[in-house]
Amino acid sequence: MTLGLVTTTLALHAPSQIAAAMKIRASQRGFSVVISMLDENLPEACHAAVDNLLAQRVDGVLINVPLEEEEAERLAQRCHPLPTLFLDVGPQARVSSLVFDAFAGARLAVEHMLALGRRRIALLAGPQNAVSARLRHDGWLAALSKADLEPCAVAQGDWSAASGYQQCHALLASRPEAIIVANDQMALGVLRACAERGINVPEALSVIGYDDTADSAWYSPPLTTIRQDFRELGEQAVDGLVAGLTQPPGAGQRVLPVSLVERRTTA
Ligand code: IPT
């Protein structure tokens, strides 16, 4: 039996580690995985990728592409009666989905900075056309406002280290004591920008990422981050889809927990 995976670009670390985790679980369970990768997250491209997998007669479809509710619902209908599982949709979408707890992740990052006594906090968000980036951003603002704070600056990158590097220079103009970053790759760019400007992390500036990708413990300094367990996601996604082959999965969102991993970029 064959599972199809439609994924956002595998040039990004998180989706590629998620795809790897799915491949591993699928092969443990005797399934193969066919991957259809999007260069750009456009709805038409996603539809074409799904059609491509259906033409290859896959038995179920996993979709790791940030999708608005209606787009996800349309794709699920297109795949019907095959089971589908979405990995990057909001809580309102009437499809079967498995996601990490974005709100808890955002709150953990803010609370960690507040516990360290940091008050001038800048935010480096992900691309706001991605659901997960918006949820993290909203979660940061909610957690800050609970402490009667507002960010001292906000910038937006595109998940890449290059964008983190560029946006960091803009954020530093507001003299933050902390930068909360929407993913580890952008945090890598932030660390490089700080090193070039002679800013000591974590003494002068605390930096936290989001993902805990495989290399984040090897950044310099090792990155404090919010861990999303991609191995767990891959396992649960494949097991959930396989269960859906025999009994149709209900529409609904399952939420996986995230955790704080303290390393050496925060103090
Ligand atoms: C999300 C990652 O956290 C982020 O770093 C980026 O790679 C993004 O994917 C790409 O879409 S994880 C996703 C399951 C919400």
- Residue spans of the domains in the chain: they are 2-100+228-256, 102-227
Write the residue with the smallest CA distance to atom 2 of ligand 1: 14
pLDDT of residue 231: 98
Query: From CA 140, how far away is CA 150, in angstroms rounded?
Result: 10
Pocket test of ligand 1: the residue of 101, 185, 190, 211 to mutate, having most ligand atoms within 8 Å of its CB, is 211
Neighbours of 246 (CB within 10 A): 7
What is the CATH T-level fold of the domain 102-227, as seen in this structure? Answer: Rossmann fold (3.40.50)
Neighbours of 244 (CB within 10 A): 18
Q: Are 6 and 65 in contact (CB under 8 A)?
A: yes
pLDDT of residue 245: 85
φ, ψ (nearest 5 deg) of residue 32: -105, 165
Q: One fold for both 2-100+228-256 and 102-227?
A: yes
Q: Is the CB of 8 under 6 A from ligand 1?
A: yes
* Amino acid sitting at position 229: D
CA atoms within 13 A on the CB side of 222: 8
Lookup result for tokens 């795809």? 19
Query: From CA 176, how far away is CA 151, in angstroms rounded?
Result: 9
How would you write the pLDDT of the chain (267 residues) with one tens digit per residue?
999 999 999 999 999 999 999 999 999 999 999 999 999 989 899 999 999 999 999 999 999 999 999 999 999 999 999 999 999 999 999 999 999 999 999 999 999 999 999 999 999 999 999 999 999 999 999 999 999 999 999 999 999 999 999 999 999 999 999 999 999 999 999 999 999 999 999 999 999 999 999 999 999 999 999 999 999 999 999 999 999 888 876 789 999 999 999 999 999
Predicted-assembly ipTM surpassing the 0.90 threshold: yes
For the domain with range 2-100+228-256, which CATH number is right: 3.40.50.620, 3.40.50.2300, 3.40.50.720, 3.30.420.40? 3.40.50.2300
pLDDT of residue 133: 97
pLDDT of residue 244: 86
Atom of ligand 1 minimally distant from the CA of 99: 14
Q: Is the CB of 266 under 6 A from ligand 1?
A: no
Atom of ligand 1 minimally distant from the CA of 8: 11
Question: Encoding tokens for residue 120?
Answer: 């001038």
